[in-house]
Chains A and B, each alone.
Chain A
Amino acid sequence: MLQVILKRIAIAIPVILVVASITFFLVRMAPGGPFDAEKVVPPQVMKNLNAVYNLDAPLFLQYKDYMFNLVQGDFGPSFRYPGRSVTEMIFTGLPVTLELALYAILIAMVIGGSAGVLAAVKRNTALDYIPMTIAMIGICMPTFLLGPLLVLFFGIHLELLPVSGWGSLSGDKILPSITLGAAYAAYIARLSRGGMLETLGQDYIRTARAKGLPEYQVILRHALQGGLVPVVSFLGPAIAGLIGGSFVVETIFQIPGLGRFYVEAAFNRDYTMILGTTIFFSALIIFFNLLSDIAVLLMNPRARSEA
């Protein structure tokens, strides 16, 4: 197992460096610069700004300097927010986004997992059709629709929950977590249903039943471990996706997370911020995929022996 982990880490480093290099040249190819504004910056000022941020050096030299600093963990200063380093901004937004992603994934697992298991156990009954129909709607409904609907109902109509914010008003974390978690709950419901159906047809489940074990024990003690393997494989990329894709929910609910920096950096041509967040997200995706692979290895003896 340790070998597998080390091998994956060894592959991850060049992957991140390639991502950084491609992103570096791609953002420079995009028209427009970080200091372009409706009120035109006079040429003298532009010259000064380019000098301040080393943008007047040849591109390859800039690339070399950037990569040299990157290897030392320095993402450079933000062009859009003078006085802020990219590292500082990433680590300001990250805890918020991680917290939001954690709540969302918990909601998704509890709701989606239980609905999927129930649907598999009560296959071809109302308890299968209804949750699966809701799951299908959940997958199809975008967060930018679900979020405002929840806000209108719980925030404005019932006046039960704050309509925006994160950690400022009591209960302001509930609606964003549900909004972000809903789509993933739907996926998890379908995956866990599929996984459980496959497991419930296995010989060892039949043996357990034949030995007279109560049904709830058959499901909880024997079927769940195998049935939830597809869900666990999905969780790694899902968490990475939640972190990277939380932009919409962060915007709807005015949450100071990392997703907003990521997207706004692209619009602002904040070169260092685009690079910093892209590299950081790449590392996160690799990390969570690795975690999910380890979890699958732990849960699935066959996979372990193949590894």
Chain B
Amino acid sequence: MKYSYLYIFSLAAIFSCSKAIPPVDSAIESQILHIGNGTEPQGLDPHIVTGVPEHHLLIAMCEGLVIANPYGGENLPGVAKSWAISPDGKTYTFFLQENARWSNGDRLTASDFVWSWKRILTPSLGSQYPDMLYYVKGAPEFHQGLTGDFSSVGVTAVNDTELRVELTHATPFFIKLLSHYSTYPVHKDTVLKHGAIDDRNGQWTRPGNFVCNGPMNLNTWELNKEITVTKNPLYWDAEKVRLNEIRYYPVSNESTEDRMFRAGQLHVTNVVPLEKCPVYIENKNPDLRIEPYMGTYFYRINTKHPVLKDRRVRLALAYALNRQQIVDKVSKCGQLAAYSFTPPGTAGYEPDTSIEFNPELAQSLLADAGYSDPSTFPVLEILFNTQEGHRKIALAVQQMWQQNLGISVQLVNQDWKVYLAREMTGDFQISRAGWIGDYEDPNTFLDTLRPNRGNNKTGWENQEYDDLLAMANSTNDQTLRYQYLNEAEKLLISDMPIIPIYTYVKAYQISSDVKGWHPNIIDTHHPKFIYLER
């Protein structure tokens, strides 16, 4: 009897819950945006963190000299209201907003940038993004400990509102780099109050301590639950900011995020579950957005491998893949078949390369390489990290190579860190890889395959390629620069140390209440342009 009451009580507790108003419905009036933000951010120190969730948070709370254009293309003024570039392209003078302030009311001056850049270049801080400033004269030497004198680095506060930056070479994409959070200023007094200049574990990024200069202020930070930021009234362009608050949820599980969106708990999701994407496309889900994204999914080849060092073998593998079929039948979420390493349309750059699907040509190339009888070809291994999407692509590639070339392929699935360790040490034959650009310029892709670059990992070295990139990055003429880059790209594709498979897209769901959220290739949505309206 006693237990019957308990049953009734439990059921009553559940069913007595009336239909609650979902957060999205109550957000219009309060202008509170709810965003799914992937994983829990590592931290909020712009000089320490490295990930995309951190990027979403930092563009709301801090601001660099420039900000990313919400429509894509050239960056817009941020803390710098304007800038002048010397005719040789090596000296940049930034004129800062007179009313730029920190969230504690202190004035933001050019010397804040000098100190902040000194901080990220301080070797003992262990920042993972100091190379973003390696184009500045003397920066690599300071960071590598060759000199301890920061005055040798080409960044100077001429006065409170004028910052002069001298570069080693003309770097046409330098302004693009400056919207990256690693170049953001940090508040010197706050950082030093909670630790030394090189203290990675300082408490200055905690709510209550955090001081920065963006359109939003850090309000609360509950680990693995949510981070809330509220409008910063001291932001130099505060009158443009219409949102009162943003709540970021670190939802690492894609299906959970999808359910949260469907239940009205989120305005914007970070991703769409792999298996749901084709269904949503077929059902014409009005909230689904699929937009070009500056990233390439490719297969990395170990060119030091006895078989794969032969260019003809690499080309045969590339020509035996039907990329269109992979994106249509396997990935099925609007991805675009890739025929270049740099995604087309990156800062107006259109790579002039092609990789045909031609099994006959592939077979003859393999025969030229000495494998006219495919059964004599050794079994190849494709290394990939645990993820259903990677497994499906690897299965498709395995089947295509088997069918079109008659060769056997083994799939090797590894945990993320094991996969990374094997790639790093060259303990692989072919591995799946992806590269997302750090800034909107072809250099962010092509630079990775220069000799001695840590991210090359293929063992491929080509002096001509290196020279072309060096020439491209020392000219101020953008047309000529893109010509050099295109030539480098052609060289890369004709040697095929990597096999491009598809260009990423950003697939996510967004409520129709969200306005001012425009598609752009770098997927950067600055909060000052976003508002809610129904």
> Which A residues are within 8 Å of any B CB, using their own CB?
30-33, 35-45, 48-49, 51-52, 77, 80-84, 89, 92-93, 107, 110-111, 114, 117-118, 148, 151-152, 154-156, 159-166, 168-171, 174, 216, 220, 251-257, 260-261, 267-269
Contact = CB atoms under 8 A, between A and B. Distances in A.
B19 interface: yes
Contacts of A51: 124, 126
29 contacts: A31-B418, A31-B421, A32-B420, A35-B128, A36-B424, A38-B420, A39-B50, A41-B128, A44-B145, A45-B127, A48-B126, A52-B200, A81-B42, A82-B42, A83-B206, A84-B201, A114-B6, A114-B7, A118-B3, A163-B262, A164-B259, A164-B263, A169-B20, A170-B20, A252-B256, A253-B256, A254-B225, A256-B224, A267-B415
Contacts of A261: 224
B224 A93 contact: yes
A64 B118 CA distance: 35
B224 A114 contact: no
B379 interface: no
Contacts, number: 171
A148 B260 CA distance: 12
Given A41-B128, A81-B42, A254 B434 contact: no
A160 B14 contact: yes
Contacts of A35: 128
Interface string B247-264: 001011101100110110
A82 B203 CA distance: 9
B455 A39 contact: yes
Contact of A83 (B205, B252, B417, B434): B205
Contact of B126 (A49, A81, A255): A49
Contacts of A49: 126, 128
Interface string B196-211: 0000111101100000
A103 to B, nearest CB: 11
Contact of A81 (B43, B128, B253): B43
Contact of A267 (B201, B224, B417, B434): B417
A168 B200 contact: no
Nearest to A250: B224
B455 A31 contact: no
A260 B225 CA distance: 11
Contacts of A84: 43, 201, 223
A148 B255 contact: yes
Contact of B263 (A83, A93, A162, A220): A162
Given A39-B50, A82-B43, A267-B417, A77 B454 contact: no
Contacts of A220: 2
Interface residues of B, number: 66
B220 to A, nearest CB: 11
Contacts of B206: 83
A82 B13 CA distance: 42
A38 B454 CA distance: 10
B265 A148 contact: no
B13 A174 contact: yes
A52 B125 CA distance: 8
A82 B48 contact: yes
B434 A38 contact: yes
B143 A83 contact: no
A83 B126 contact: no
Nearest to B416: A267
A163 B261 CA distance: 10
Given A44-B143, A82-B43, A164-B256, A92 B454 contact: no
A174 B14 contact: yes
Contact of A254 (B7, B15, B17, B256): B256
A156 B263 contact: yes
Contact of A36 (B13, B203, B252, B417): B417
Nearest to B425: A31
A80 B201 CA distance: 11
A89 to B, nearest CB: 7
Given A32-B417, A40-B454, A148-B259, A254 B249 contact: yes
B457 interface: yes
Nearest to B263: A163
Contacts of B45: 82-83
Contact of A269 (B128, B222, B417): B417
A171 B253 CA distance: 21
Interface in B4-54: 6-7, 10, 13-15, 17, 19-20, 23, 40, 42-43, 45, 48, 50
A31 B200 contact: no
B130 interface: yes
Interface string B447-468: 0000000110100000000000
A70 B203 CA distance: 22
Of the candidates A42, A107, A165, the one having the most CB atoms from chain B within 10 angstroms of its own CB is A42
A282 B19 CA distance: 42
B344 interface: no
Contacts of B454: 40-43
Given A160-B17, A164-B265, A48 B125 contact: yes
Contacts of B20: 159, 162, 169-171
Interface string B271-308: 00000000000000000000000000000000000000
B98 interface: no
B14 A254 contact: no
A180 to B, nearest CB: 15
Nearest to A117: B3
B144 interface: yes
A174 to B, nearest CB: 6
Nearest to A154: B14
B477 interface: no
Contacts of A154: 14
A40 B424 contact: yes
A268 B422 CA distance: 16
Nearest to A113: B3
A42 B256 CA distance: 36
B226 interface: yes
Given A110-B10, A160-B14, A165-B265, A254 B260 contact: yes
B202 A83 contact: yes
A45 B203 contact: no
A168 B226 CA distance: 10
Contact of B420 (A37, A43, A160): A37
A252 B435 CA distance: 29
Nearest to A175: B14
A30 B417 CA distance: 9
Contacts of B2: 220
B259 A93 contact: no
B265 A163 contact: yes
A7 to B, nearest CB: 38
Nearest to A46: B126
Contacts of A117: 3
Contacts of B434: 38
Interface in B215-243: 222-226
Contact of B15 (A110, A111, A160): A160
